[in-house]
Amino acid sequence: MTQENKNFEKIKKINIDKDSILFKLWSYFAVFSIIILVCLWLLQTVLFGYVYENLKIHEVTKVGNNLRNEFDKGNFQDLLLNYVNTKGLNISVFDEDGVIIYPITLLDLIKSSRTYMTMETFDKFFGSLQRENLKYKVTTMRFDKEDEPRIIYSGYLGKNEGKKYYLFIDTVLKPVDVTVDVTKRILMIVSVLSLILSLLLAFFLSKRISRPLVKMSNTAKELAHGNYNVNFKKGEYTEIDNLSNTLNYAKDELTKTIEVRKDLIANVSHDLKTPLTVIKSYGEMIRDISGSNEKMRNDHLNTIISEADYLTNLVNDLLDLSKIESELEDIKLEKFDLFDLTGKVTDRFKHLTDSPIDFKIEREGNTEIFADKRKIEQVIYNFINNAINYSKSSNEILLKIFESEEGVEFHCIDHGIGIDESEINSIWDRFYRAGTNHTRPQVGTGLGLYIVKSILNLHSFKFGVNSKINEGSDFYFIGKKSN
């Protein structure tokens, strides 16, 4: 690799994927931090003076209203002195003649016998209350020869011994320009440090949050390349754990599906190869050996026909299976008599078998059900065909159709070889093959009972089998009663 290519590879590694979850989360956190800092700047520089003035007015108003409410009580003067000492406010109480009633400073005590406020000024602050029908009012004004504005609270206290009394609160609204300038300098330093810290913290949090998702993405890539032994690991968050469980479940189901597909291909290949080999072999025998021997030729032709029938049944079962699993056929529900349908199916077997089958059909109660008639006919056919195939030399098959509390029950009972208890759950699988402990004859396509299960599941009908080795089997399903 040339030096130029190496440099190009380094640039590719450094280049950031802007669509990655890490970059997206980092961007969101960074933008959020910048918005917070901008809001803080606006509050401190633009709105600081406005907020300060409103808070000061609110404080003065609150003190004035509290004093007005406590005027008729014994602790009024103590409360007034407490506010003066703790709030730094100039508070005075005047009577209706403008004379100070509660002097606060030593100078006020000296002047207590004189009018503290001219009648013009008194009318400006207190006379307007009566004219405007107000209990109090708060104003901000500037006095001559004073640079700082003042907040003035003027309120009516009430009557005492026939005289009206008024409350006057005066405080300086100090300018905040110097404070704002100092705050700006401090805020600038804090903003730079906060921005750097927030960007680093955002990157750390983004990486921490995205790490389990990145791992899952890499694991999914391995799964996509055919490694089905991967495991999606859990993270530090509930949502990640739920996603991990879901992906592991999907992986397990995918693995099962692939195994089923492999088994399906293997079994279909085997079941197609055997009869085709037999057909070819017997065709060659007819050509080379038995062409002129009528008896041998007919035997060979019968074998070919039998194998062709097997292939036909296999293809039909595969087609039925494909339609059911792909849900290409809708269930067409209708009301019909299960007993009559069973009789129709048994009539078909009288023409399909060489040796006669002794069918015994028992009926009890109302046997009408609500289901797809054609599909239920296929279920009954497969049950009976299965019973014939595994009944040894016994040709007696008992079919019981009766009404019960759960619905209408159908039972197909044979006296054949039975099924081992350990294999009962397996017989409903595709291409069922018995285990080594008990070998059943390899007849049929191995799809019949799986098709039965699929049809009955589509109907939500209960079904199953009761069986004992060398005693026989009882295959059954319970249909929904017709109303």
Question: Can you give the pLDDT at residue 16?
Answer: 60
Report residue 444 as tokens.
């049929």
DSSP notation for 47-69:
SHHHHHHHHHHHHHHHHHHHHHH
Report residue 385 as tokens.
């065909």
The residues that bridge with 91 in the sheet, in sequence order, are: 169
Question: Can you give the pLDDT at residue 46?
Answer: 65
pTM: 0.46
Question: Can you give the pLDDT at residue 348?
Answer: 78
Q: pLDDT tens for the chain, 483 residues: list them.
A: 555 555 445 444 445 666 666 677 777 777 777 787 777 777 666 666 677 778 888 888 898 888 888 888 878 888 888 888 888 788 888 888 888 887 555 555 555 444 567 788 888 888 888 888 888 888 888 776 666 788 889 888 888 878 888 888 888 876 655 555 666 677 677 777 777 777 777 777 777 777 777 788 888 888 888 787 888 887 777 777 888 888 888 888 888 777 767 766 766 676 677 678 878 887 888 887 776 777 888 888 888 887 787 778 777 777 776 776 665 567 788 999 999 999 988 887 775 555 677 889 999 999 999 999 988 988 998 898 888 888 766 678 999 999 999 999 999 999 888 888 888 888 887 666 544 333 333 455 567 788 888 889 888 999 999 998 888 899 999 999 876
First CA to last CA distance, the chain? 81
Q: Which residues make Cβ contacts (< 8 Å) with residue 395, sequence separation at least 6?
A: 355, 356, 357, 358, 388
Provide the 8-state DSSP code for 406.
S
Three-class secondary structure of residue 115 per DSSP: strand
CA 5 → CA 9, 12, 16, distances in Å? 6, 11, 19
Can you tell me the distance from the alpha carbon of 285 to that of 381, in angstroms, rounded to the nearest whole number? 35
Question: Can you give the pLDDT at residue 18?
Answer: 66
Q: Residue 182, by phi and psi: left (phi above 0), alpha (psi -120 to 50) or beta?
A: alpha
- 97: closest CA among 132, 73, 126, 76? 126
